[in-house]
Structure 1
Amino acid sequence: MTADMAGFIDAQRTDHGVAHAVACRALGVAPSTFYKHLNRPVTAQQLRRQATDAEVKRAFDKSQGTYGSPRVRAQLRRDGIAVSKTTVEASMARQGLCARPKKKKGLTSQNPGAAAPSDLLGRDFSATEINQKWCGDFKEVKTAEGPVFLATVEDLWSRRMVGFATSNDYPTAELAKAAINTAVATRGGGIAGVIFHSDKGSQYTSEAFAAACRRLGIARSTGRTGNALDNAPAESFFSTLTHELIDRRAWTTRAQARQEITLWVHSWYNQHRLHSAIGMVPPIEYEQATTPNPQKQTLHD
């Protein structure tokens, strides 16, 4: 019998009112063996494990239960706590702490008659400077009042969500334009030459969106419609948004959804959430550390 099992049996009475004898019988453990282990003094190893579990739980709770073991470990290291990968994984397993991503369904469909731009990225989503490569896509968010549709623009240099826009109507070129315009405003203009990458959805291949990009000096790039790998960062962002916010909420109105999405993006995702693609730091912190004059954050919806 282990100390962990003794602690589990003891917790059944404290947490659920299950008598020690009943729990011992269910687990096939002699009560005398249980009491022998229960009354043993706590060892230094057990104290270290308890301290580790408390810190792991704190980091997990700080993310509102959304971090898996790599980000929990990264957060602990940022807090000055050195801990191994296996230790974090074991602690999370002991405590039943688990965060799993969800998959999303795309909203864009290709217009066979539209002339689509070529793929300028070729699945190379790295960038060497700010405002070099952007990407975006659409997402449907359900509420009791009806759906809200979200269009995004992400800077691949820092993985910061630099712009987005929402609408109650099905995604259109106007929604895509609105998201691009907010991204330009966030960056303070002067973004001519940036590549904006999307799929070949009709919204992004429309003349209205093409004209907006020409006016702003944005070079359009498109991957294949419905192919997640061709626009992987946009897909990854929506998976994160779904898992960490949308699946945890049941909004009554569209206004509530818009407000919470806006706060989540700007107050959590951009400012505090650790991003694996940039060395487990938040996007805005990454920009401040790598860009001479990073643009200040502004709120858009």
Structure 2
Amino acid sequence: MRVNHIVGRHLKKKRTTIANSTAPPAPDLVIRDFNADALNTGWCADSTYMAVGTTCPYAAMAIGICLRLLVGWSIADPVCTSLAADTVEMAVAARSGRVNGGVFHTDRGSHYSSRACAEACSSAGVRRRMSAVGSSADKALAASFNATFKRGTLQGRKGRLDEREPRLDAFRWHHRYNTRRPHSRLRQRSPIVFENAFHLTPTTLAPAA
């Protein structure tokens, strides 16, 4: 590379987790154990940014720990407290409300520790749990999903036509992930195919997507 005057291109780092020092954090009871034998007992959530061209919307995702199913997601620009609350509400609707007692595991970002997120979790009977500050491994399941999502939607893209395009890209990729993309943990089946094959609780997310 040096001989041919080739220089690697690096993405600029952008801070996505800004903790709210005034909000008391929820305890971490997941302890990096991303395994579950039953549906709707735990979701792992994370947020990321989609920096391409002049746009930089933030995307928040919630992954079901049992099936690795994307149960909820939201996009906002700029990041706001409704980002996390909207994700929770979509996840509850996607699982037809059968989430009472489940865990919503996140980092300590201000949108996750916000009153809006707390109220959304409380009304659904979902318990909030938070990772340690600055530890991506504590939310590795969701962080890994977001890395895959960004590769699938941003790879080879140099710009976007408008603010609507990132949402459409995310919509298409999320639908493909849940319905068609093979997952190694699920015996090379997609989350919804794996769920339906074993006669588990059906999801409403696939038809909605």
TM-score by length of 2: 0.86
| CA gap 1:272/1:105 in 2 versus in 1, 3 angstroms | farther
8 Å Cα contact 2:63/2:72 also seen in 1: yes
Q: Distance in 1 between matches of 2:199 and 2:44?
A: 20
Offset of residue 174 of structure 1: 0.9
Q: Does 1:246 align with 2:154?
A: yes
8 Å Cα contact 2:152/2:173 also seen in 1: no
Q: Which structure has more strand as a fraction of its residues? A: 2
Correspondence for 1:206 among 105, 111, 114: 114
Q: Does 1:147 align with 2:56?
A: yes
Within 5 Å, which residues of 2 pair with 1:1-301?
A: 106-169=15-78, 171-249=79-157, 250-266=159-175, 268-296=176-204, 297-299=206-208
Q: Distance in 2 between matches of 1:231 and 1:214?
A: 21
8 Å Cα contact 1:145/1:254 also seen in 2: no
8 Å Cα contact 2:104/2:129 also seen in 1: yes
Q: Percent of pairs identical after alignment?
A: 31
Tell me which structure has the larger Cα radius of gyration: 1
Q: Distance in 1 between matches of 2:12 and 2:53?
A: 21
Partner amino acid for 2:24?
A
Q: Distance in 1 between matches of 2:13 and 2:197?
A: 33
Q: Distance in 2 between matches of 1:106 and 1:290?
A: 40
Offset of residue 272 of structure 1: 1.4
Partner amino acid for 1:113?
T
Query: SS of the counterpart of 2:167?
Result: helix
Which stretches in structure 1 are left out of the alignment for 5+ residues?
A: 1-101
Partner amino acid for 1:154?
I
Q: What per-residue deviation string (whole Å, max 9, x for no partner) do you get for residues 1-47 of structure 1? A: xxxxxxxxxxxxxxxxxxxxxxxxxxxxxxxxxxxxxxxxxxxxxxx
| CA gap 1:280/1:104 in 2 versus in 1, 3 angstroms | farther
Q: What per-residue deviation string (whole Å, max 9, x for no partner) do you get for residues 89-146 of structure 1? A: xxxxxxxxxxxxx998550121222100000101001011111110111111124452
Number of equivalent positions:
197
Query: SS of the counterpart of 1:175?
Result: helix
Partner amino acid for 1:290?
F
Query: SS of the counterpart of 1:165?
Result: strand
Partner amino acid for 2:36?
A
Offset of residue 199 of structure 1: 0.6
Q: Distance in 2 between matches of 1:173 and 1:116?
A: 16
Offset of residue 279 of structure 1: 2.6
Query: SS of the counterpart of 2:179?
Result: coil
**Which consecutive aligned stretches of 4+ in structure 1 deviate over 4 angstroms post-superposition?**
102-106
Q: Distance in 1 between matches of 2:144 and 2:14?
A: 12
Query: SS of the counterpart of 1:116?
Result: coil
Q: What per-residue deviation string (whole Å, max 9, x for no partner) do you get for residues 47-66 of structure 1? A: xxxxxxxxxxxxxxxxxxxx
Partner amino acid for 2:80?
T
Query: SS of the counterpart of 2:20?
Result: coil
Q: Distance in 2 between matches of 1:173 and 1:162?
A: 19
Query: SS of the counterpart of 1:205?
Result: coil
| CA gap 1:258/1:274 in 2 versus in 1, 3 angstroms | same
8 Å Cα contact 2:52/2:154 also seen in 1: no
